[in-house]
Amino acid sequence: MGSFELICPAGNPAALRAAVDAGADAVYLGFRDETNARNFPGLNFSRPELAEAIAYAHARSVQVFVAINTYPQAGNLAPWQRAVDDAARLKADAVILADLGLLDYAAKRHPDLRLHLSVQASAANAEAIRLYREAFGVRRVVLPRVLTVPEIARLNAEVDVETEVFVFGGLCPMAEGRCSLSSYATGLSPNKQGVCSPASHVRYEPRGEALASRLGGFTINVFGAGEPAGYPTLCKGRFVPGGGTSSDPAYLFEEPTSLNALALLPELKAAKVCALKIEGRQRGKAYIAAVVGAYRRALDAFERGLPVPALDLEAMVEGGAQTTGAYTRAWR
């Protein structure tokens, strides 16, 4: 088995250049519309920008994967099918899909286009993965962040498909991004419109010396004086359970923390994982350059059998905390 591929995020052309220059083997990105799960204002790529991005990346032997990983709405397939067609026309190296109908469309319309199964599809067992492989010719599966490393190893022993896993960045505990909480609060769906906690529905309100963050009319968190105020996502809010009157709200779903699986490189290699993915298409180019560069140096050392350098990424992790996530912890 060869070296790990380092798969890196790009939310705009500047971030793509930063990722390529910092050592990415492949960059994943999306169009500037509802067809991808990071549909935020100011992010993503127009068709001309994607053409330029692919030219820049290919000139440096870096691949470009296009994420088209939201779910088409009934009676409105055209934007998703057009995204697949345009990605193929512009010579993307792969498209990352989740919807069965769209996989079928892409496989039939563009038989030479490489298909990757998005983490949004939540394929976590060999039977499901074999179905995607046999029905649509899927070449790679991005595994959901609910598997332990031994489970990944057993799965890889049973399937003839490349697997890709997340190693750094934000955690999404709500069924791998297929979240209904944000949709309940805002009326806009991460699954259909690609927006989790859209900025248009975010408010910050002073409450004495404290600061409340709100999403779609719901108070998500109240930060004390001097406490850093995070972005209001429902899965990482502090609440009082059961309608109680406690004055000590808690993180009921997930604490603000970032995945960092660097310490698990030997186990992931032994488990025959093909590619390592960094999360963060909403991040700026400085973040991308720092994280991608650090992981590049670590992977290069690991592949040469040298000591893996420590990553100085404390300033880049959410809430100042890091975790190996479900790779090692018990809850699912």
pLDDT digits (tens, 9 = 90+) for 247-293: 688 888 888 888 999 999 999 999 999 999 999 999 999 999 999 99
Burial class (CB in 10 A: 0-12, 13-18, 19+), 199: exposed
pLDDT digits (tens, 9 = 90+) for 72-81: 989 999 999 9
- pLDDT value at position 330? 65
- pLDDT value at position 204? 95
3-state secondary structure the chain: CCCCEEEEECCCHHHHHHHHHHCCCEEEECECCCCCCCCCCCCCECHHHHHHHHHHHHCCCCEEEEEECCCCECCECHHHHHHHHHHHHCCCCEEEECCHHHHHHHHHHCCCCCEEECHHHCCCCHHHHHHHHHHHCCCEEECCCCCCHHHHHHHHCCCCCEEEEEEEEECCCCCCCCCCHHHHHHCCCCCCCCCCCCHHHEEEEEECCEEEEEECCEEEEEECCCCCCCCCCHHHCEECHHHCCCCCCEECCCCCCEEECHHHHHHHHHCCCCEEEECCCCCCHHHHHHHHHHHHHHHHHHHCCCCCCCCCCHHHCHHHCEECHHHCCCCC
- pLDDT value at position 244? 65
Count of alpha carbons within 13 Å of 309, Cβ hemisphere only? 12
Distance CA 34, CA 44 (A): 11
Residue 238's CB is within 10 A of a number of other CB atoms, namely 17
What confidence category does residue 331 fall into, taking pLDDT thresholds of 50, 70 and 90? low
User: Among 94, 126, 133, 131, which Cα is nearest to 110's?
Assistant: 94
Span 150-161, mean pLDDT? Answer: 96
Distance CA 49, CA 193 (A): 21
What confidence category does residue 30 fall into, taking pLDDT thresholds of 50, 70 and 90? very high
C-alpha distances (whole Å) from 190 to each of 38, 71, 321 are: 8, 9, 25
- Average predicted confidence (pLDDT) for the chain: 92
Burial class (CB in 10 A: 0-12, 13-18, 19+), 307: exposed
Distance CA 223, CA 285 (A): 28
pLDDT digits (tens, 9 = 90+) for 157-194: 999 999 999 999 988 777 777 788 889 999 998 888 88
Q: Of all residues in the chain, what percent carry a pLDDT higher than 90?
A: 70
| Strands 162-170, 5-9: pairing kind | unpaired
Question: What is the rounded (10 degree) CA torsion for 267, 272, 275, 277?
Answer: -40
Poorest-pLDDT segment among 169-178, 192-201, 213-222: 169-178
227 CB-near residues (< 8 Å, 6+ apart): none
Distance CA 17, CA 136 (A): 32
Distance CA 297, CA 309 (A): 7
